[in-house]
């Protein structure tokens, strides 16, 4: 490559990075305050998982297997919010590949036994708990009995109930409060609704299948094989503890909607993105099957720009007009973005960018790559 061309590519890449930094989210860096300005205003919106302040706008760009640019604080362990969902769905995918879940079309109820909630010894009158159930049955209502793994993975389950003190209707509630508890349920698979209560139901169901804390499963099956650091942590809630096989285990969350979720640095996010780019293969090991990757990237019928949680698709170029229709991303609030583009052999991690600035960043990034 001529020196002049290399200079031009470097200048174009710098323009993309400068655009991402200038496009920093307008939300406060104090994420506790941010929570109570947003999700915390919902019914039962108080945080029950850990929240920390965020860092500077940060990113990493990997092209053809090499880091070609980075900025901000890539070693900083920050909340990654709903990028956590892609890690959760991957753990479910490995359970499917190992035959622990026979099919994603199976009813989840078949795999979830009665759940014993952890209840610390009462320091008040024990009769106060007389009407409190000892066991949790998350899939026993007539509607919930029909929900499949695929429904939960695609956010089309319309699961009904309360988990960890959060009613399903309290997450992004309908504008009409009269319908919060009275509306008819949608047949599973027919209506898409992004909902973190139902994501946490999936995490609890997966815990029952693995019978091990999901962070341990993720570490063994994905994070260690891809060479991730030892600094990431996957948190649950202060009240999401169950007794399973005689051991106390915390059911983790699929995001930071009420705190918790995955805390991770940008390098580890990039490694997971690169695993996605290589269709689940890391060096000579197939960590996630190509069949699972294909399923995760298959559009959800009621919402074609969503695959499995949290694989956001660019179907018909609607999400990011400047990117190929085949591109996808693992995305979470913040915005935290792991952009994956097989046509350009490209992974870009971008943290704390305003959602409205993402397509402008991608436009500049792809202009730089196309001149490479």
Please tell me whether residues 286 and 165 are part of one structural domain: no
CA distance readout (Å), 254 to 155, 172, 206, 228:
12, 16, 12, 19
Q: Which domain holds residue 284?
A: 3-93+214-235+260-370
Of 210, 227, 243, which closes a domain? Answer: 210
For residue 125, what pLDDT is reported?
A: 75
Continuous H helices in the chain: 3-22, 31-37, 84-97, 149-153, 196-210, 214-218, 266-277, 290-296, 358-370
The CA-CA-CA angle for residues 102, 104, 105, to 5°, reads: 100
For residue 7, what pLDDT is reported?
A: 47
For residue 8, what pLDDT is reported?
A: 55
What's the rounded Cα separation, in Å, for the pair 266 and 76? 7
Reported as a single tens digit per residue, the pLDDT across 39-73 is 999 999 999 999 999 999 999 999 999 999 999 99
The domain total for the chain is: 2
- 3-class secondary structure, 137: coil
Q: Over 60: is that where the pLDDT of 3 sits?
A: no
Q: Over 90: is that where the pLDDT of 193 sits?
A: yes
Confidence of residue 127 (pLDDT cuts 50, 70, 90): confident
Of 210, 227, 245, which closes a domain? Answer: 210
For residue 160, what pLDDT is reported?
A: 98
Continuous H helices in 58-108: 84-97
For residue 372, what pLDDT is reported?
A: 66
Please tell me whether residues 205 and 340 are part of one structural domain: no
Directed axis angle between helix 266-277 and helix 84-97, to 10°? 40
pTM of the prediction?
0.95
What's the rounded Cα separation, in Å, for the pair 333 and 353? 10
Domain contains 124: yes
Average pLDDT over residues 244-262: 97
Domain contains 251: no
């Amino acid at each position: 490559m001529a020196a002049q061309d290399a200079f031009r590519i470097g200048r174009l890449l710098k323009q993309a990075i400068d655009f991402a930094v200038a496009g920093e989210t307008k939300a406060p860096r104090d994420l506790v305050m941010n929570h109570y300005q947003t999700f915390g205003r919902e019914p039962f919106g108080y945080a029950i998982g850990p929240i920390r302040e965020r860092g500077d706008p940060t990113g990493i760009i990997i092209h053809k297997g090499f880091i070609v640019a980075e900025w901000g604080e890539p070693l900083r362990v920050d909340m990654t919010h709903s990028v956590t969902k892609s890690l959760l769905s991957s753990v479910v995918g490995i359970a499917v590949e190992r035959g622990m879940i026979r099919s994603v079309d199976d009813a989840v109820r078949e795999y979830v036994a009665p759940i014993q909630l952890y209840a610390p010894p009462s320091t008040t009158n024990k009769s106060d708990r007389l009407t409190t159930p000892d066991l949790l049955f998350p899939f026993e209502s007539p509607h919930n009995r029909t929900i499949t793994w695929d429904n939960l993975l695609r956010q089309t389950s319309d699961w009904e109930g309360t988990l960890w003190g959060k009613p399903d209707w309290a997450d992004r509630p309908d504008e009409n409060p009269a319908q919060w508890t009275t509306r008819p349920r949608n047949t599973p698979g027919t209506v898409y609704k992004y909902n973190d209560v139902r994501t946490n139901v999936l995490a609890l169901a997966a815990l029952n299948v693995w019978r091990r804390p999901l962070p341990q499963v993720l570490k063994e099956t994905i994070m260690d094989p891809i060479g991730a650091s030892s600094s990431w942590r996957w948190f649950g809630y202060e009240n999401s503890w169950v007794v399973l096989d005689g051991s106390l285990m915390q059911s983790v969350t699929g995001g930071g909607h009420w705190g918790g979720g995955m805390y991770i640095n940008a390098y580890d996010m990039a490694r997971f993105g690169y695993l996605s780019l290589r269709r689940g293969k890391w060096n000579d090991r197939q960590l996630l099957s190509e069949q699972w990757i294909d399923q995760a990237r298959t559009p959800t019928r009621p919402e074609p720009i969503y695959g499995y949680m949290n694989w956001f698709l660019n179907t018909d170029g609607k999400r990011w007009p400047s990117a190929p229709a085949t591109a996808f991303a693992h995305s979470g609030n913040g915005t935290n973005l792991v952009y994956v583009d097989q046509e350009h052999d490209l992974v870009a991690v971008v943290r704390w960018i305003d959602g409205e600035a993402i397509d402008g960043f991608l436009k500049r990034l792809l202009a730089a790559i196309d001149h490479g």
